[in-house]
Amino acid sequence: MPNESRGHRRAWAAVGLLLAAMLGGCRATVVTIEPPAAPANFDPAGGVDWSGYADVLDACVGDDGLVDYLVLSQPPNCPRLLDCYAQLARVGPATAPGQFPDRDSKLAYYINAHNLLALVAMGPYFAPGKIDPRGVGDLPGPPESAFRFTVGGQPMTLAELRELRIAPLTADDPRPLLGLCAGRRNDPPLRREVYSADRLADQLADQLARVLAGNEWTTIDAYHRRLLIPAAISDHRAYYWAHHLGGSAGPVAGTDFLAVLLSLADARGRHRLNRAIGFDVVTAQPGDELNNRPVLPAMGE
């Protein structure tokens, strides 16, 4: 379909040119990615239609939670992402509170917005082919702070979206933090489905189990006898203790935190974590230097 192909190339090219222009040779610059015009059939009263984003996730994300950027670059994936961005830029809990009556509806919106916008920002920087969290791209800076978007009528970076919108909703349950993926090395896996308010509890439980089962996110360091876990788990141990021990918010004599993790993992995760019995449990640090350097060295270097 030549016309469609030209359309998707123009869509990605527009984003890429905007990023290049805003960078202006200064890697400390925050790149503003303005939302495109809303689709012709968009009705704010009907809320955000996430179906296009769901199609992109199904087409571009593997069972391992990694993005195939070559597929993402093919039609009609880029236009679908941009159409969805146009909608979420105009509709959100701040602009249409009646559409988001409870915590789960707000969280589902913000998690989806965060992950979609990360794809919009990072897509133009990666060469075709499957890029995993250990891949490299010529990003202008850390993905959480290098780009500014419009979310529900308000400009913010991914870091601000996490801190100002998502974190306040996670006081009683930090698991939504495990749903946020900005392309860092230790970011949780992307799901091949959108988050929804009516299924959020089940989706978060499954996401936690996936993180505990994957060496990319929960790493067993046998040499140093330690288990490295995401900050979204390590920094919120009281929550996980309480859900393991029926209300206790702290350690119980004879039970270490690995036992808590074993109780929260699925069979695959328990099989892995059993190898870390007796190890220290520490917070894993993301290695953004591995996804924040040029694919090729600059001329003359």
pLDDT at 103 over 90: yes
Provide the token pair at 33. 């990615």
Instruction: Delimit the domains of the chain by residue range.
Output: 2-212, 218-283
pLDDT, residue 1, reads 41
Q: Greater confidence, 33 or 141?
A: 33
Nearest residue to 230 (alpha-carbon basis) of 153, 174, 151: 174
Query: Residues of the chain with pLDDT > 70: what percent?
Result: 77
C-alpha span between 223 and 43 (Å, rounded): 56
107 CB neighbour count, 10 Å cutoff: 24
Best CA proximity match to 52, nearest among 23, 29, 24, 75:
75
* Cβ-based neighbours of 92, under 8 Å, separated by 6 or more: 100, 109, 113, 151, 152, 153, 154
Q: Higher model confidence: residue 26 or residue 9? A: 9
Q: What is the value of pTM for the model shown?
A: 0.84
Q: Identify the band that residue 130 occupies on the pLDDT scale cut at 50, 70 and 90.
A: low
Which one, of 127, 132, 128, 156, lies nearest residue 144 by Cα?
A: 156
In the predicted structure, residue 205 carries a pLDDT above the cut 50: yes
| Residue 106 clears pLDDT 60, i.e. is over it | yes
pLDDT at 225 over 60: yes
State the chain's mean pLDDT as an integer.
83
**DSSP H or E segment with residue 131:** strand 130-131
Residue 161 has pLDDT above 90, yes or no: yes
- pLDDT confidence of 136, banded at 50, 70, 90? low
The per-residue pLDDT for range 39-82, each reduced to its tens digit, is 899 999 999 999 999 999 999 998 888 888 888 888 899 899 99
Closest alpha carbon to 66 in 125, 121, 132: 132
Q: 58 in helix, strand or coil?
A: helix
Angle among Cα 19, 43, 8 to the nearest 5 degrees reads 35
pLDDT at 10 over 80: no
CA angle 213, 218, 221 (to 5 degrees): 120
At 139 the pLDDT is 75
Tell me the per-residue pLDDT of 277-294, one tens digit each, with 9 for 90 and over.
999 999 887 665 545 444
Distance, first Cα to last Cα, the chain? 41
C-alpha 160/C-alpha 227 separation (Å) is 29
Going through 1-113 in order, the beta strands assigned E by DSSP cover 31-32, 67-68
Tell me which of 16-20, 79-83, 213-217 is least confident: 16-20
CB neighbours (10 Å) of residue 3? 7
What's the confidence (pLDDT) of residue 22? 46
Question: Six-digit token pair at 282?
Answer: 């520490």
Look at residue 299 and tell me whether its pLDDT is greater than 50. Answer: no
Q: Which tens digit of pLDDT belongs to each residue from 248-273?
A: 656 665 568 898 899 899 999 999 99
Alpha-carbon distance values, 273 to 41, 164, 178, 264 (Å): 49, 34, 18, 11
